[in-house]
Amino acid sequence: MRVVVLLGAPGSGKGTAAVRLAALRQARHVSSGDLLRAAVRAGDVAGLEADGYMQRGELVPDDLVAGVVARHLRLGAPAGEVLLDGFPRDVRQAELLATELERTQSRVHLAIMLDAPPELLIERLGGRRVCPRCAAGYHARAMPPAVADICDRCGTGLIVRDDDRPETVRRRLAIFNEKNGPLLAWYDARHLLRRIDGAGTADEVVARISEALAP
Ligand code: AMP
């Protein structure tokens, strides 16, 4: 398994880029946020525990999210490329991921940080709409669906995520700012870090990432 880690603040465009890259590269897109939201909807043990943290915009405990991601990775094909979106979010999670991958003689191939200024993050999160059924992401102005507020893929009505409310967004960005520096340093020390400009259209960002991933 060749694992590419996508790093970046909430609103940096990781999820959008990951969906497009997965289609282009026939890779698996694994989003910890989507997995946790699915667990909450399913009402399973992990979901019940994660729900409160997510509502408040806080990180769920490392072992909980690492367990959810590891179980999902183990269920999928052992070969091929995986685009990890939203995990790891701190150094402890990076260590848990490295340990999990060692089990299968896999490793992180590259950690790609999408850099975006705070104004852009706030703008993107403010317009974000998601499909509660298939998790497709849209932006009210920059990336609207063909029919207003309806998912292009599955026809479900789009929603604003609970944790995209302004006060929760501020908390999520503060937590990101606290955790991300040490995480970048951790990957940089292992010569695995590439920083990419996250401004511009989704196509532009995807092209930059593709270039970084070219052999
Ligand atoms: P996201 O969709 O990546 O913005 O994640 C939504 C929420 O899920 C976050 O605000 C956290 O509460 C939780 N979450 C997702 N990934 C992680 C992670 N790696 N560690 C801790 N909490 C996470």
pLDDT tens for the chain, 215 residues long, are: 999 999 999 999 999 999 999 999 999 999 999 999 999 999 999 999 999 999 998 999 999 999 999 999 998 878 899 999 999 999 999 999 999 999 988 999 999 999 999 889 988 898 999 999 998 999 998 899 999 999 999 999 999 988 888 888 889 999 999 999 999 999 999 999 999 999 999 999 999 999 999 97
- Check pocket membership of 90 for ligand 1, CB cut-off 6 A: no
| Contact criterion met (CB below 8 Å) for 129 and 22 | no
- Taking phi over 0 as left and psi of -120 to 50 as alpha, with beta for the rest, 135 belongs to left
28, 37, 172, 208: which is the annotated catalytic residue?
172
- Check pocket membership of 65 for ligand 1, CB cut-off 6 A: yes
The identity of residue 131, as a single letter, is: C
List, as one string, the DSSP characters of 144-197: --SSTTB-TTT-PBPB--GGGSHHHHHHHHHHHHHHHHHHHHHHHHTT-EEEEE
Looking at the CA of residue 57, tell me the nearest atom of ligand 1: 10
- Check pocket membership of 183 for ligand 1, CB cut-off 6 A: no
Substitution candidate for ligand 1 out of 89, 131, 165, 176 with most atoms within 8 A of CB:
89
pLDDT tens digits along 142-188 = 899 999 999 999 999 999 988 888 888 889 999 999 999 999 999 99
- Check pocket membership of 89 for ligand 1, CB cut-off 6 A: yes
